Structure 1
Amino acid sequence: MLSKGIGPRTTRNATRLVWLRDLRRPHLSSYYLPIFIPNERPHVKLLHLDSSILNENSATRAISAAVVEHLKQNDPAIEVTYRDLAAAPLPHVTLPALAGDESAALVEELLSADILVIGVPMYNFGMPTQLKAWFDHVLVAGRTFRYTAEGPQGLAGDKHVFVCMGRGGFYSEGPMAAMEHAESHVKAMLGFIGITDPAVIAAEGIAISPEQREASLKAALDQIAELQIRGTAPVT
């Protein structure tokens, strides 16, 4: 016959240590068997990046904040790490910077995240230099990707990524589509480190008129209600 008791310690990941004792031989301590039982599931980690210089007037900040809030409603225990790359810009890449602690910390921050939410305004047809600097710090050979005989291989793992775009004109189709190098560049960088299926929420034409901005932003925010993390139900 076995009886169960809680051991005097826990492991680093807060699993419970349970001892099973053979009651037929109560005098023999060697008949205690350690069984590790996980406690609650690990918290989901979310990394939220903004890069717009427009602060409260930014469409991408409004969209990315709404995405994070939506995901937190679905899982209030989500742990959010926020980086405002415009207010606190990272240094552009130099050899000492890449070898420093900050770059290593940025890589760890990315690798430990389960969800990535990125606010990406399009400036002069591309992403802001502040966001490009972040990518330059985290695309590190041997950490987030590696070179192989068959070609580069991403190492960042399976993450849920939401790219929150803002564009002054219409660039998703039509004659200006060839000038769109923000969304395409971000998706290429993510794909290079192994993240191949980001969800894109875009507000286009937001510089055409106040009415167009309002309509485009509303359409983008309406998309967020349908977002969900694989394996969970949508928030209603």
Structure 2
Amino acid sequence: MTTTLLQINTSLFSENGQSSKLAQDYVEAWRSRHPQGRVIVRDLATNPLPHLTAERFQAFLAKPEARTPEQRAIVAESDALIDELKAADQIVLGLPMYNFGIPSTLKAWIDHVARAGVTFRYTANGPEGLVADRKLTVLAARGGRYAGTPKDTQSGYVRDFFNFIGIRDIDFVYAEGMALDESTRREALDAAHSRIDKLAA
């Protein structure tokens, strides 16, 4: 059976962003071990998604048979993203930090894949994720040093969201201090590459 990896780039610099380059390094290491594997690339800079609006949210809530043509188009876009997610055995997320948070393009992606009854459902025992048995690797590139501090608003949020839809096997690879000086930047990248090689094995 073919193994599939979904690569999600969220840098505003597209494939030239440092987090995207780290994600690509992971993909290349993964390919060397899965030569028959399939890679799906979702670049949110080159193909940005609309941010969630009341109109789009109502399209998700409407019964399929009652949706207008415009609503069906909105839902089809969301369905395509969810199909990519469900087709993947592994997910690699390139994650820069912008103003202490995640890129707004990633938030838009999250808002399009978080669909009740599709990627999660509510039960008597609380919400249950419907996208389980997948591995997520997050390549987080940051100008400063934030991991393990209250200013790291990303890690908990990303972990909580993916846990919510059922993905619990999550690894974070941090490349921090990228804007401090060249020596710190080089050390951060070397450490990240070392960890990537181990995780992709």
Q: Same fold (TM over 0.5)?
A: yes
**Residue 69 (structure 1) aligned with residue 41 (structure 2):** no
Contact 2:129–2:163 (8 Å) recurs in 1: yes
Scaled by the length of structure 2, what TM-score is found? 0.87
Amino acid corresponding to residue 84 of structure 1 in structure 2: D
Larger of the two Rg values belongs to structure = 1
Match of 1:108 in 2: 83
Residues 126-161 of structure 1, C-alpha deviations (whole Å, 9 max, x = no match): 110001111110011101110111111011021011
How far is 1:51 from its partner?
0.7
Alpha-carbon separation, structure 2, partners of 1:71 and 1:56: 18
Residues 44-92 of structure 1, C-alpha deviations (whole Å, 9 max, x = no match): 1111110112346522111100111111110111111101101211111
Over aligned residues, Cα RMSD in angstroms? 1.4
Contact 1:59–1:203 (8 Å) recurs in 2: no
**Residue 226 (structure 1) aligned with residue 201 (structure 2):** no
Cα distance change on mapping 1:56 and 1:150 into 2, 3 Å: closer
Report runs of 4+ in structure 1 exceeding 4 Å deviation. none
Match of 1:117 in 2: 92
Residues 165-215 of structure 1, C-alpha deviations (whole Å, 9 max, x = no match): 011111113xxx111111221111101001112111110111111221121
Cα distance change on mapping 1:191 and 1:56 into 2, 3 Å: closer
Equivalent of residue 192 in structure 1, options 129, 152, 164:
164
Contact 1:154–1:191 (8 Å) recurs in 2: yes
Decide which moves more: 69-78 or 51-60.
Answer: 51-60
What number of residue pairs does the alignment pair up? 185
**1:147 aligned counterpart, secondary structure:** strand
Match of 1:157 in 2: 132
Match of 2:147 in 1: 172
Alpha-carbon separation, structure 2, partners of 1:108 and 1:222: 32
Amino acid corresponding to residue 153 of structure 1 in structure 2: E
Contact 1:168–1:206 (8 Å) recurs in 2: yes
Match of 1:210 in 2: 182
**2:19 aligned counterpart, secondary structure:** helix
Cα distance change on mapping 1:105 and 1:90 into 2, 3 Å: same
Question: Could you list the runs of 5+ residues in structure 1 that have no partner in the other structure?
Answer: 1-41, 229-233
Alpha-carbon separation, structure 2, partners of 1:214 and 1:200: 19
Scaled by the length of structure 1, what TM-score is found? 0.75
Contact 1:205–1:213 (8 Å) recurs in 2: yes
> Which structure exhibits the higher relative contact order, with contacts defined as CA atoms closer than 8 Å and separated by 6 or more residues?
2
Percent identity, aligned pairs only, is 42
- Give the helix-richer structure, 1 or 2: 2
Contact 1:59–1:217 (8 Å) recurs in 2: no
Question: Could you list the runs of 5+ residues in structure 2 that have no partner in the other structure?
Answer: 61-70
How far is 1:107 from its partner?
1.0
